[in-house]
Chains A and B, each alone.
Chain A
């Protein structure tokens, strides 16, 4: 029953997850087993690129959960992504050990360069992988909790909330630029050597990271489906549509928003952590407000409020970006802007809505459903409020013909 609820009833999601799974099976085969001379060979570069897209898709999913379902438009989700990325980056830095330029056994190169004598307290523990994993979840989670607690409790909503999330990511951008912060300043963290003992640039490692990203995406998708199909999911949609009513139904709206926001931030952090070892660098640029806005464009393009639409959007826009920037990098931002305008004007439900529209048009030719908005007055002739005392009325609304026949009785 749970599979029915989570997956089978969600056709679009099944298709998208199926494609992700198929890629996860085919790409490693084409990369590792097919010889390089063959036309079917996929280069390690492409594997990394696809792995990156999977991380973006996970990030987009996290935004769709709060924006599409709860109506909270966060324009600072890149911040959680970057924090997860930094946590992973710190682990990777500690793995370099004495192999750095300056050969210090413990201090990363940039600290030696700054003449630091010992490791700052917040770098402690990052030599252990489990600790880094914990921080990837805890750091974005706590930031989201504190930030959300303050914002939702003061009932900051709508565009005001968007603006302060934007300010949040910008503030972090400026902070991480500073050398004294101890996160590598402008250059960020890079020159990674290996992860869990495996060389980070090797094909095998890249494939594993790619698979891990795909696996996380599927897992996160199922978790999100679980949330949105539960009663909590209905409460969340209610908050989006009629917040006051939800409150007067006895729900503590602030708590719902807060926990959803924290969960979403954790997903974004995990996406960042998977992203960093694949691209090999994390720098304050990831906190750039522009990144967070672009991310919202992916979700809008794919179609918000569907979960799988976010994945479709992340892949489409980023593929477009890859193609565009290799031909004419100057025009990409114009194309992105145009895309956003077109999607908003022509496809308010995104690419996914386009498919649904064609599907609906097909089912319209098939009669049988009563027209929407038909109040079926034939079955409600009584003036008493208890007008539906017979259980037959349950059926009659679905079949107006029967109702009309019954009317004289």
Chain B
């Protein structure tokens, strides 16, 4: 990995006004339009168009290399596209913001491999993720207030880790780590949740719990799930988007998608 390839972010960027209510007059919360990303000539995303509605649960599937993870990188500010635009609501241009600003603004992301703070307890993990002033000097003296503590308890119940609150996060099972990470996203009061392969490596029972957790989150939040496991997708999906070679191949219900000859060709042709 070339360390100098990172985009430079100015340290003096102003946070956009996320405090104001998000303008979602057309029910769409996330607009991804004409996005193209190239890595050394290879087009990871090729004129991608994607619209996510408020409160929607959307599954995104596609063969390896279809650009699913790159798409998440673009939305969360990790990768800046060569072309295209990404808007959060009607007003906020995500391409002008850096990762921490997008995270503060209400777009949470779960990684493929569970990434939590292993040295800290479950409770402390959620404490750090809590929506609060996250500037350096504030965190030096900040304590949790009672509303925040209440919220942590709520989330602990929601993700089923209430009894493990004082446990070291590093000693949780794989499935529990995934849930903790989802819990950390919830602590940020996100409008949109991007969830990358939530059930990879989970047991059948854990997969089932995760499905119910994600279904319970939709409605209040918009949830975008990227997943390989077709059985899992079928169990939660309302609307499915199939990505192929960096752009949308087709969209629809699971049945429509599965019977689409283009999709069959892409999957069987592999």
Q: Report A's interface with B, CB cutoff 8 A.
A: 149, 153-157, 160, 226-227, 230-232, 234-235, 237-238, 240-242, 244-256, 259, 372-373, 375-376, 379-380, 383-389, 393-394, 396-398
Would you give 26 A-B contacts (Cβ < 8 Å), ordered by A? Answer: A155-B6, A230-B140, A231-B127, A231-B142, A234-B117, A234-B120, A234-B127, A235-B139, A237-B119, A241-B119, A246-B128, A247-B99, A248-B99, A249-B128, A249-B188, A250-B100, A251-B134, A252-B100, A252-B136, A254-B9, A373-B173, A375-B172, A380-B163, A385-B216, A388-B160, A397-B164
Interface contact B115-A256, CB-CB below 8 Å:
no
Q: A248-B108, A373-B173, A388-B161 are in contact. List 9 more A-B contacts (CB 8 A).
A: A227-B140, A230-B139, A240-B119, A241-B119, A245-B117, A250-B101, A255-B135, A375-B164, A388-B162
**What chain A residues lie within 8 Å of B176 (beta carbons)?**
375
Question: Given A149-B11, A248-B99, A248-B109, does the pair A255, B6 have CB atoms closer than 8 Å?
Answer: no
Answer whether residue B39 sits at the interface, using C-beta atoms and an 8 A cutoff.
no
Q: How distant is the Cα of A241 from the Cα of B168 in the complex, in angstroms?
A: 14
Q: How distant is the Cα of A396 from the Cα of B164 in the complex, in angstroms?
A: 10
Q: Which positions 1-34 of chain B face chain A at CB distance < 8 Å?
A: 3-4, 6, 8-9, 11
| A-B residue pairs, 10 tightest by C-beta | A397-B163, A388-B162, A385-B213, A250-B104, A250-B103, A232-B139, A245-B115, A393-B163, A238-B117, A231-B139
Interface contact B162-A393, CB-CB below 8 Å:
yes
Interface contact B111-A156, CB-CB below 8 Å:
no
Instruction: Give min CB distance, A148 to chain B, whole Å.
Output: 11
Interface contact A238-B120, CB-CB below 8 Å:
yes
Answer whether residue B248 sits at the interface, using C-beta atoms and an 8 A cutoff.
no
Q: How distant is the Cα of A241 from the Cα of B176 in the complex, in angstroms?
A: 18
Interface contact B141-A255, CB-CB below 8 Å:
no
Q: How distant is the Cα of A372 from the Cα of B99 in the complex, in angstroms?
A: 35
Contact among B9, B116, B188, B212 for A242, CB-based, below 8 A = B116
Interface contact B162-A160, CB-CB below 8 Å:
no
Q: Scoring B residues 66 to 106 as 1 if CB is less than 8 Å from chain A, else 0, what string do you get?
A: 00000000001010000000000000000000111101100
Answer whether residue B156 sits at the interface, using C-beta atoms and an 8 A cutoff.
yes
Interface contact A373-B157, CB-CB below 8 Å:
no
Instruction: Give min CB distance, B70 to chain A, whole Å.
Output: 15
Question: Given A234-B124, A249-B129, A252-B100, does the pair A385, B209 have CB atoms closer than 8 Å?
Answer: yes
Interface contact A154-B8, CB-CB below 8 Å:
yes
**Nearest opposing residue in chain B for A237, CB measure:** B119
Q: How distant is the Cα of A154 from the Cα of B120 in the complex, in angstroms?
A: 28
Interface size classification for chain B: 35 or more
Answer whether residue B184 sits at the interface, using C-beta atoms and an 8 A cutoff.
yes
Q: Which positions 184-238 of chain B face chain A at CB distance < 8 Å?
A: 184, 188, 205, 208-210, 212-213, 216
**What chain A residues lie within 8 Å of B162 (beta carbons)?**
388, 393-394
Q: How distant is the Cα of A233 from the Cα of B42 in the complex, in angstroms?
A: 41
Interface contact B135-A252, CB-CB below 8 Å:
yes
Question: Given A250-B134, A385-B216, does the pair A244, B115 have CB atoms closer than 8 Å?
Answer: yes
**Nearest opposing residue in chain B for A384, CB measure:** B212
Interface contact A154-B4, CB-CB below 8 Å:
yes
Contact among A372, A376, A383 for B208, CB-based, below 8 A = A383
Answer whether residue B152 sits at the interface, using C-beta atoms and an 8 A cutoff.
no
Q: How distant is the Cα of A246 from the Cα of B118 in the complex, in angstroms?
A: 12
Interface contact A383-B134, CB-CB below 8 Å:
no
**Nearest opposing residue in chain B for A247, CB measure:** B99
**What chain A residues lie within 8 Å of B49 (beta carbons)?**
none
Answer whether residue B149 sits at the interface, using C-beta atoms and an 8 A cutoff.
no
Question: Given A238-B120, A255-B136, does the pair A247, B163 have CB atoms closer than 8 Å?
Answer: no
**What chain B residues lie within 8 Å of A240 (beta carbons)?**
119
Interface contact B158-A386, CB-CB below 8 Å:
yes
Q: How distant is the Cα of A256 from the Cα of B139 in the complex, in angstroms?
A: 10
Q: How distant is the Cα of A36 from the Cα of B218 in the complex, in angstroms?
A: 81
Answer whether residue B171 sits at the interface, using C-beta atoms and an 8 A cutoff.
yes
Answer whether residue B239 sits at the interface, using C-beta atoms and an 8 A cutoff.
no
Interface contact B99-A385, CB-CB below 8 Å:
no
Q: Scoring B residues 164 to 179 as 1 if CB is less than 8 Å from chain A, else 0, what string do you get?
A: 1111100111001000
**What chain B residues lie within 8 Å of A397 (beta carbons)?**
163-164, 167
Instruction: Give min CB distance, A228 to chain B, whole Å.
Output: 11
**What chain B residues lie within 8 Å of A373 (beta carbons)?**
171, 173
Q: How distant is the Cα of A241 from the Cα of B124 in the complex, in angstroms?
A: 14
Interface contact A396-B141, CB-CB below 8 Å:
no
Interface contact B3-A155, CB-CB below 8 Å:
yes
**What chain B residues lie within 8 Å of A380 (beta carbons)?**
160, 163
Interface contact B136-A248, CB-CB below 8 Å:
no
Contact among B118, B160, B164, B173 for A385, CB-based, below 8 A = B160
**What chain B residues lie within 8 Å of A237 (beta carbons)?**
117, 119-120
Contact among B76, B128, B131 for A234, CB-based, below 8 A = B128
Interface contact B136-A372, CB-CB below 8 Å:
no
Interface contact B128-A231, CB-CB below 8 Å:
yes
Q: How distant is the Cα of A241 from the Cα of B116 in the complex, in angstroms?
A: 8
Answer whether residue B159 sits at the interface, using C-beta atoms and an 8 A cutoff.
yes
Interface contact B188-A250, CB-CB below 8 Å:
yes
Interface contact B140-A389, CB-CB below 8 Å:
no
**What chain A residues lie within 8 Å of B9 (beta carbons)?**
153, 254
Q: How distant is the Cα of A320 from the Cα of B209 in the complex, in angstroms?
A: 58
Q: How distant is the Cα of A370 from the Cα of B227 in the complex, in angstroms?
A: 35
